[in-house]
Amino acid sequence: MSAIPPGIPPGMSAIPPDIAMITGPTMLGICLNWGFMGVLVAQLYFYHENFQDDRRTIKALVYGLALLDILQTVMITADAFHWFVYGFGNMEKLDETFLNSWDVPVLDSVISLVVQAFYCWRIYFLRKTMVIPILILLVSVTQCVAGIYTGVRAHQLGHLSLIPTEVAPQTIWLVGGAVADVAIAAVLSWLLLSQRSATIPAGATHSIISRIIRLIVETNALTAGVAVIALIIFWGLPHHATLVVPPTAIIGKLYTNCLIALFNNRVKEGRSSSVHGMQSVHLPESSSQQRARYNHNNRDRATLKVHVVREMDMSYDGDHDHDGQVELGNIQKPNFS
């Protein structure tokens, strides 16, 4: 039996030389989670101030996701106290999962399922078919089940160093989330692109729907990219279990922030916008103009042009504007005056 090094209390192991590789990623993940929590609070305040008339279902979605994210941050903070305060210098406590088995894989997978289910509902609203939304939803449910199973197994194992041994469920969880995000971005972009020419003129199309498509693609690419990064770290560095903490600690916050950003984007669109077009009308020549034409043969034909300005008012459906349909293509045909 090896002797305990001087200065190490009984029952505690010595701090290894690579302690930074163990505590550094964990601390970074905790700080990132708190940082995105601050972004979420700002977005919630903006949403509350500008969309108090939203339907109850949309409000329940927004505030329900916010409560889940608040719960996650509270639990992650409890993890931080368990590892770095009450268990300071204790390598055994630092390796315990404590609440981490529930606050990261379980809550992340549940939040992603809720957000992806909302997008599936919007796809059904635009497409009027159940096939594509159900297929994407099945992938999302699969990743959620795998995430919950990962959390349950991590709790049973009880040690963070043993989590990399559960390769299959973590892979299904991360890959499933990324596949669902990519599918949602591709399908919504295709649906909006196919409908934009029939809804509003080309000039307004590029300023409204193109920006909506860009926002959808960027947000889903962000969440999918973070999941892929976590998967690469998990597969590439299995001996450093904590390196996967930073990306997985923010997945839930990214989903919620991206969805609320899509809702808050309605303020930029405004209630209505005006587009002015110009048409040239050729009026008949007067007698004086005819004489001027004969006197100036080297000049082009004199034509009086009157520019008639036509104002087009593009207003959104007030009954549906508040439930997120503006962002996903429910724009009325223009009214001309």
Domain CATH number, residue 220: 1.20.1070.10
As a whole number of angstroms, the longest Cα–Cα distance in the chain is: 119
* pLDDT on residue 15: 84
Kindly report each contact of residues 23-27 with a partner whose C-beta sits within 8 Å and lies 24 or more positions away, as own/partner. Answer: 23/83, 23/84, 23/94, 23/242, 24/242, 25/240, 25/242, 25/243, 25/244, 25/245, 25/246, 26/83, 26/242, 26/245, 27/80, 27/84
**Residue 68, C-beta contacts closer than 8 angstroms, at least 6 positions apart:** 107, 110, 111, 114, 252, 256
| Same structural domain, 254 and 314 | no
* pLDDT on residue 89: 84
| Same structural domain, 162 and 309 | no
Task: Kindly give the residue spans of alpha helices, DSSP state H, lying in the chain.
Answer: 19-50, 56-84, 91-94, 100-103, 105-127, 131-157, 167-199, 202-236, 245-264, 266-269, 287-295
Helix (H) or strand (E) holding 161: none
Q: Are 201 and 331 in contact (CB under 8 A)?
A: no
- 10, part of any domain: no
- 9, part of any domain: no
Q: At 145, give phi and psi (nearest 5°).
A: -60, -40
CA dihedral 267, 205, 184, 268 (to 10 degrees): -10
Token couple for 147: 């995430």
- 156, part of any domain: yes
Average pLDDT for the chain: 80
Round to whole Å and give the CA distance between 134 and 125. 13
Which residue positions in the chain have pLDDT lower than 70?
A: 1-13, 196-207, 268-337
* Local structure of residue 130 (DSSP, 8 states): S
* pLDDT on residue 334: 43
**Residue 317, C-beta contacts closer than 8 angstroms, at least 6 positions apart:** 325, 330, 332
Round to whole Å and give the CA distance between 119 and 133. 8
Q: At 311, give phi and psi (nearest 5°).
A: -100, 130
| Same structural domain, 152 and 278 | no
Final residue of a domain: which of 229, 251, 269?
A: 269
* pLDDT on residue 277: 39
**pTM summary value:** 0.78
Parent domain of 127: 19-269
| Same structural domain, 100 and 235 | yes
Final residue of a domain: which of 269, 294, 325?
A: 269
Q: Are 133 and 120 in contact (CB under 8 A)?
A: yes
| Same structural domain, 184 and 249 | yes
Final residue of a domain: which of 229, 250, 269?
A: 269
The total of structural domains in the chain comes to 2
Which amino acid is it at 328?
Answer: L
| Cα–Cα distance list, 36 to 72, 75, 263 (Å) | 12, 15, 17
Which amino acid is it at 274?
Answer: S
